[in-house]
Amino acid sequence: MALNLFTPRTIDPPAAIEAATLRSDRFRLERETDWQRLELIVEALEKNRTRRISDEDLLELPVLYRKAASSLAVARETSLDAATLAYLESLVRRAWFQVYGPRTGLFAWLRSFLGGGWSASVRDLWLDICIALAVMVAGTVVGWLLVAGDQDWYYRLVGESAAGRAPGASKAELAASLEPTDSAEGLTFFAASLFSNNSGVCILAFALGFCFGVPTLLLLVYNMTMLGAMLWLFNDAGLTWEFAAWLSVHGTTELFAILLSGAAGLHIGRAMAFPGARSIMSAAAASGRRSAQVMAGCVIMLVIAGLLEGYARQLVPSAEGRATIGGVMLVGWLAYFILTPRPRAADGDAGAAR
């Protein structure tokens, strides 16, 4: 009778379970000291008890996290017991949030943002702001010259004008179009619609920056040609000061927001066009983070501009009062962007570095 040399060995189930248990216990005992140390550090950070953490433990946190993550990978590959896997998964997840996750709450972020983060990002875009400002001034001049040469350009740039603002209107009619209303009734909807329109322009100016900034420049020129056309109209009627005061109430804030939005789009487009040693995508990502912070602040400016345009401009009767409001807003924005210091590294740069 032939012998079967390939007869499988019989495995004793209790013995296999015991071997797996011993293997799991040995694995845990060899690494449990580091796990417990990591857990104590994470627990102190979660409870905001950083004073209880020594400098040595704080420096070891990333190392202990990587060791725990490596242990979790080994535990999954070797199919260790479910309790060990669950413990490691929970520990690694909690440690990840302390090492890499955001630690700043909404109010802390807002304090850092308004306390210097926004203004610092704006100052970093100084070259793009200069380019956008030059383009906006050029667009205003172009609009003025086009209408001065042919009044039909006014309708092409501004469209069908309302409230008597059109070439051929008398000085009295143009002056009446700048008069305020007697009350604030109905102005809420007006302010909301203005905010919606202006925010659309700013978002478009920013978004078009991804096309290497060229459409952003064209959009800025087009928007400012409309302003140039209206400036010519009121200047021709001898109402330059009245129109400038009427516009300044909200214009110093609104045009500033459009300027910053266009600069943010140009910043991305310029980084993509001239990435240097970086790839185009990495250059766009780096510039996009800074530009996005500028755009977040532009939303605040547009809200304020909408309120000024919907209420202050309509309720303040005198040109002097309107010009004062506009001038104060302009000086306030310039002082904030120029004089506000950068946030401390602990509040701003450290969070960005993570």
Task: Determine the Cα–Cα distance for residues 285 and 292; give it in Å rounded to an integer.
Answer: 10
The pLDDT-based confidence of 347 (bands split at 50, 70, 90) is very low
Instruction: Flag whether pLDDT at 105 surpasses 90.
Output: no
Q: Is the model's pLDDT at 311 over the cut of 50?
A: yes
pLDDT tens for each residue of 73-97:
887 777 667 777 888 888 888 888 7
Averaged pLDDT, 99-115: 74
- Rg for the chain, CA atoms, rounded: 32
Q: Which two tokens stand for residue 115?
A: 């306390």
Calculate the average pLDDT of the chain.
81
Determine the Cα angle at 180 with ends 307 and 173, to 5°: 130
> Within its chain, how far is the Cα of 34 from the centroid?
40
> In Å, how far are 25, 45, 346 from 19, measured between CA atoms?
10, 38, 50
* Position with higher pLDDT, 250 vs 105: 250
Does the pLDDT value for residue 307 go beyond 60?
Answer: yes
Residues with Cβ within 8 Å of 6's Cβ and at least 6 positions away in sequence, in order, are: none
The string of DSSP letters for 50-104 reads GGGS-HHHHHHHHHHHHHHHHHHHHHHHTT--HHHHHHHHHHHHHHHHHHTS---
Q: What is the pTM of this model?
A: 0.68
Q: In this predicted model, what pLDDT tens digit does every residue of 139-187 receive, in sequence order?
A: 999 999 999 999 999 988 887 655 567 888 888 888 888 887 655 554 5
- AA letter at 29: L
Q: What is the pLDDT of residue 233?
A: 92
How many CA atoms lie within 13 Å of 340's alpha carbon, on the beta-carbon side?
A: 20
Q: State whether the Cα torsion 224-126-338-112 is positive or negative.
A: positive
Q: Is 287 within 8 Å of 210 (Cβ atoms)?
A: no
Instruction: Give, in order, the Cα–Cα distances in Å from 43 to each of 37, 50, 57.
Output: 10, 10, 13
DSSP 8-class letter at 354: -
Amino acid at 36: Q
Report how far residue 143's alpha carbon sits from residue 224's, in angstroms, rounded to the nearest whole number: 7
- Copy the structure tokens of residue 181: 């209303």
pLDDT per residue over 193-252, tens digit each?
Answer: 556 667 788 888 898 888 888 999 999 999 899 999 999 999 999 999 999 999 999 899
